Structure 1
Amino acid sequence: MSGREVAIPDLAARTRDRLEALVSALLEEPDPPTGHRTRREIWERDILDSLAALALPAVNRARTAVDLGCGIGFPGLPLATALPTTHFTLVDSVARRLQVAANLARRAGLRNVELVQARIEDFARGPAREQFALATARALGPVVTVLELAAPLLAVSGALVIWRGRLDPAERDRVERVAEQLGLVTAEIRKTLPFEGAKHLHLHVFSKQGPTPDRFPRRPGLARKRPLA
């Protein structure tokens, strides 16, 4: 099945063409670090799942965005394709993943993407701190971990979008307690159906209401090894 046979959002023809180029480039990777190997799988589980965030006003308003733990470029590259006036910074610590992301961005003709190889904890303690209107994370880790890593990079009034399934009540309680420590509040939890057969997919949206204390993020690895709650 070609990518154009998959139901995709109402996007400009140029955007659709660039997304198709991105998919083709990924299919041509000799050893891509992804389990999605068919055109349909990539369209549905990488492209459409990423583009689900376009339903959020905060995503469309942002002019500076950071994609954390971007891997080979999802959701950052599809969103950068759909939002050409937004500058996306994609951050990952693994060079091989960023090499693939760079090739995909080049093949799609994206000029609004910057790739950074760094630990997020180190990146968040540099000039990028509190500089972004939007942060995204699709496969970075537990929500409480993502909150600690992302909050310091967001400007006050910025938004964080996390791709995740449903949270049970105990996890939701932990998330709320951690968010409060970091200057974040839950703004919305939106169920998504980006493709036929998708199950339990949600966008967890947080708004930054105040500055994140200087002690966050803690040193590399602690957000995952010793979560705040």
Structure 2
Amino acid sequence: MDSYKIRSAAHASGIRLDAEQSEQLAIYGDLLLAENKKYNLTRISGEEELVYEHFIDSCYGVAIAGRSGAAELLDLGSGAGFPGVPIKIFCPQLKLYLLEASRKKIAFLQLLAQKLALKEVFFLQGRAEEIGRREGREAYAWVTARAVAPLMVLAELALPLVRRGGYFWAFKGPAAGLELKEAEEIIARCGGVLLEEISYRLPPRGRERHILIFEKVEEAEDRFPRRVGIPQKRPLRKL
């Protein structure tokens, strides 16, 4: 991929990348396009979609709102690395934890970090339901998730991982408002409150995007997250 085109597209979207960051994203894109089928990572139609709907979408919120003062980030359900790895490239001093259930995708993320020469990147293979009840509970200052699950499921998986005073960023599409309404009860019971919503449209097609930023103000109730699979099968909707 052409690093200059990536940098130009980012700048046009209000994201300032230097030459090194642009080159890292170009290497990322080349590796993802080459290895996508092998690792069963994500659906990508071409370079333009990759630049705007993955790289720029991942970095936009940080470019606008900063990183909430956090020195570390846990990316939940990281998959092909979005949004965690682009955020790490944009904020190189950030300590990054990539949580992914698939061993194959963890292998790709390890290869990616090696190719990009990223420092302080850690790989967690497992389920959020398990980690959120053990060593990861209330452990992270900042948690992100993108294209993982509806918010009423995602909040139960993510908020127990966030320490009190920390933040959870949920990357969402046009249904963000409806998802937020459905998830009000589980958000409250897991100790979160909506702090801010960042709304924007991705060029060139104007795709609607939202980042819902939650602050963790109280500890999650002890019963959350429930055991593996239960949040998806029996989501706790607002009554």
Output aligned runs, 1:7-18, within 5 Å.
7-8=9-10, 9-18=15-24
Q: From the superposition, tell whether residues 58 and 222 of structure 1 become closer, same or farther in structure 2 (CA, over 3 Å).
A: farther
Task: Give, as a single letter, the amino acid of the residue that structure 2 aligns with 1:86.
Answer: L
Task: Name the counterpart of 1:176.
Answer: 184
Task: Decide which of 160, 164, 172 is 1:156's aligned counterpart.
Answer: 164
Task: Name the counterpart of 2:96.
Answer: 88
Q: Mean Cα displacement is larger for which, 172-181 or 203-212?
A: 172-181
Task: Give, as a single letter, the amino acid of the residue that structure 1 aligns with 2:17.
Answer: L
1:26 correspondence with 2:22: no
Q: From the superposition, tell whether residues 127 and 168 of structure 1 become closer, same or farther in structure 2 (CA, over 3 Å).
A: closer
- Structure 2 distance, partners of 1:121, 1:172, is 21
Task: Name the counterpart of 1:40.
Answer: 48
Q: From the superposition, tell whether residues 172 and 120 of structure 1 become closer, same or farther in structure 2 (CA, over 3 Å).
A: closer
Q: From the superposition, tell whether residues 88 and 168 of structure 1 become closer, same or farther in structure 2 (CA, over 3 Å).
A: closer
- Structure 2 distance, partners of 1:10, 1:171, is 31
Task: Decide which of 182, 190, 193 is 1:185's aligned counterpart.
Answer: 193
Task: Name the counterpart of 1:63.
Answer: 71
The answer on whether the counterparts of 1:27 and 1:37 sit within 8 Å (CA) in structure 2 is no
- Structure 2 distance, partners of 1:42, 1:162, is 20
Task: Name the counterpart of 1:120.
Answer: 128
- Structure 2 distance, partners of 1:38, 1:96, is 22
- Structure 1 distance, partners of 2:228, 2:36, is 32
Cα deviation digits, residues 104-156 of structure 1 (max 9, x gap): 22111111211111011111122221111111110110001110001111011
Task: Give, as a single letter, the amino acid of the residue that structure 2 aligns with 1:172.
Answer: L
Q: From the superposition, tell whether residues 227 and 30 of structure 1 become closer, same or farther in structure 2 (CA, over 3 Å).
A: closer
Q: Structure 1 residue 37: deviation in Å?
A: 4.6
The answer on whether the counterparts of 2:153 and 2:232 sit within 8 Å (CA) in structure 1 is yes
The answer on whether the counterparts of 1:133 and 1:159 sit within 8 Å (CA) in structure 2 is yes
Count of aligned residue pairs for this structure pair: 229
Seq. identity, %: 29
The answer on whether the counterparts of 1:2 and 1:40 sit within 8 Å (CA) in structure 2 is no
Instruction: Give the TM-score of the pair, scaled to structure 1.
Output: 0.92
Cα deviation digits, residues 142-192 of structure 1 (max 9, x gap): 001110001111011111111112337654332222211111011112112
- CA RMSD, aligned part only? 1.9
Q: Mean Cα displacement is larger for which, 110-119 or 28-37?
A: 28-37
Instruction: Give the TM-score of the pair, scaled to structure 2.
Output: 0.88
- Structure 2 distance, partners of 1:142, 1:217, is 15
- Structure 2 distance, partners of 1:12, 1:204, is 27
The answer on whether the counterparts of 2:197 and 2:213 sit within 8 Å (CA) in structure 1 is yes
Task: Decide which of 113, 117, 120 is 1:105's aligned counterpart.
Answer: 113
Q: Which has the higher contact order (CA 8 A, sep 6+)?
A: 1
Task: Give, as a single letter, the amino acid of the residue that structure 1 aligns with 2:119.
Answer: R
- Structure 1 distance, partners of 2:53, 2:178, is 28
Q: Structure 1 residue 13: deviation in Å?
A: 2.2
